[in-house]
Copies of this chain bind each other. A is one copy, B any other.
Amino acid sequence: MNFAPLQNDTFLRACRRLATPYTPVWLMRQAGRYLPEYRATRARAGSFMGLATNVDYATEVTLQPIDRYALDAAILFSDILTVPDAMGLGLSFALGEGPRFATPVRDEAAVRALRMPDLEKLRYVFDAVTSIRKALAGRVPLIGFSGSPWTLACYMVEGAGSDDYRLVKTMMYSRPDLMHRILEINADSVAAYLNAQIDAGAQAVMIFDSWGGVLADGAFQEFSLAYTARVLRQLKREHGGDSIPRIVFTKGGGLWLGEMNGLDCEVLGLDWTVNLGRARAAVGGQKALQGNLDPNVLFAQPQQIVAQASKVLHSFGAPHTGAGHGPTHIFNLGHGISQHTPPEHVQVLVETVHEQSRSMRSPPSA
């Protein structure tokens, strides 16, 4: 495949811990329900999975926020549960509810029957990656993604979202052998899935460990972190001569930043509970950091959005401006953007990050 040359490399440079003229910004779930144009496409598609599995629709909604805002990266529009769906668990989205699996994995027989999915069943994702990459025409890089092995396991065992993770934790504590088996399969599946996204054109990949933070100390290392590491060990480092940065985001994982710093990845994503300055010190310059504005800030007025975004930029501290590697920051929210966000507030945020981070690199006194 021959794609157009990249015009904005600030995101990829920041992933590689190289200086950039400003702090790049993108938003988790930036293609989503808060945008009226997304809701229009969604209505035409009929259902969420109708949207996610159609290459043209997926391309269209991925580009919508890029057309509207000066974002520095695009992220594939898809769902974190495509992999267990391809394993045959039967994913569906009831209106107004979260995802649900028709056949959750709750007993030994179900675990024994579990297999890595045929990647052909995920062809629609890889086709979407290539289509989006072409449609982007080099404007910004494209991020591919997957749920983490643990996060997929949560949904696979619970069968849906949960507020106490009782079923998955009961299996973990009472039958750790079964849980490890699920996680091995998940890890190898996620690695194959992300490698195929890279082959299809993804220029960076992100692992969403959305539910790692619900685990106890000790259990996190054994049942989440170890399998994220297993994914990372199998990922392609480069494609067509370009290195492919790898981002790991564990929501609620701030206490384990020391251990996560040992992961073989370039970027760690952080939620809003983490102080970026402390995190920067904790990773000792070995990882780029991505985050971490509370998405609820976007419900406040522009003046307050500016103040809070500025606070996040300054909590990270002085930008790296020299040659070679240094501490870098990729601005993002600490979690996905809310469907209730006023779209014009995102404009304020993106402009603020760009302007303020530029001025932090060339202070008036210079």
Q: Is A165 an interface residue (CB 8 A)?
A: yes
Contact between chains at B166 and A296 (CB < 8 Å): yes
> Quick one: closest B residue to A253, CB to CB?
B273
Stretch at the interface among A21-29, A107-115, A137-145, A298-306: A298-306
Contact between chains at B299 and A166 (CB < 8 Å): yes
Q: Is A340 an interface residue (CB 8 A)?
A: yes
Q: Is A255 an interface residue (CB 8 A)?
A: yes
Contact between chains at B273 and A308 (CB < 8 Å): no
A170 touches which of B173, B220, B293, B296 (Cβ 8 Å)? B296
Instruction: Report if A272-B173 is in contact (Cβ < 8 Å); known contacts: A164-B296, A164-B338, A255-B255.
Output: no
Q: Oligomeric state, in number of copies?
A: 2
Q: In the complex the two chains form, what is the Cα distance from A254 to B252 in whole Å? A: 10
Cβ of A213: which chain B residues have Cβ within 8 Å of it? 273
Chain B nearest CB from A111 CB (Å) reads 17
Q: Is A169 an interface residue (CB 8 A)?
A: yes
Chain B nearest CB from A312 CB (Å) reads 9
Q: In the complex the two chains form, what is the Cα distance from A219 to B215 in whole Å? A: 24
Q: In the complex the two chains form, what is the Cα distance from A173 to B254 in whole Å? A: 23
Q: Is A5 an interface residue (CB 8 A)?
A: no
Cβ of A220: which chain B residues have Cβ within 8 Å of it? 273
A104-130 interface (Cβ within 8 A of B): none
Contact between chains at B338 and A299 (CB < 8 Å): no
A254-276 interface (Cβ within 8 A of B): 254-255, 272-275
Q: Is A174 an interface residue (CB 8 A)?
A: yes
Cβ of A294: which chain B residues have Cβ within 8 Å of it? 169, 173, 216, 219
Q: Is A234 an interface residue (CB 8 A)?
A: no
Q: Mark A181-221, 1 if CB is under 8 A from B, else 0.
A: 00000000000000000000000000000000101111110
A-B contact pairs, 29 of them (CB 8 A): A164-B295, A164-B296, A165-B296, A166-B338, A166-B340, A169-B296, A169-B297, A170-B296, A170-B299, A170-B300, A173-B296, A173-B299, A173-B300, A173-B304, A173-B308, A174-B304, A215-B272, A215-B273, A216-B272, A216-B292, A217-B274, A217-B275, A218-B315, A219-B294, A220-B273, A254-B254, A255-B255, A255-B273, A255-B274
Additional A-B contact list (10), CB under 8 Å, known A169-B299, A218-B311, A219-B294: A164-B338, A166-B338, A166-B340, A173-B299, A174-B301, A174-B304, A215-B272, A215-B273, A252-B273, A255-B275
A contacts, CB < 8 Å to B = 164-166, 169-170, 173-174, 213, 215-220, 252, 254-255, 272-275, 292-297, 299-301, 304, 308, 311, 315, 334, 338, 340
In the complex, the 5 A-B pairs of residues with the closest C-beta atoms, listed nearest first: A169-B296, A216-B272, A173-B300, A170-B299, A174-B300
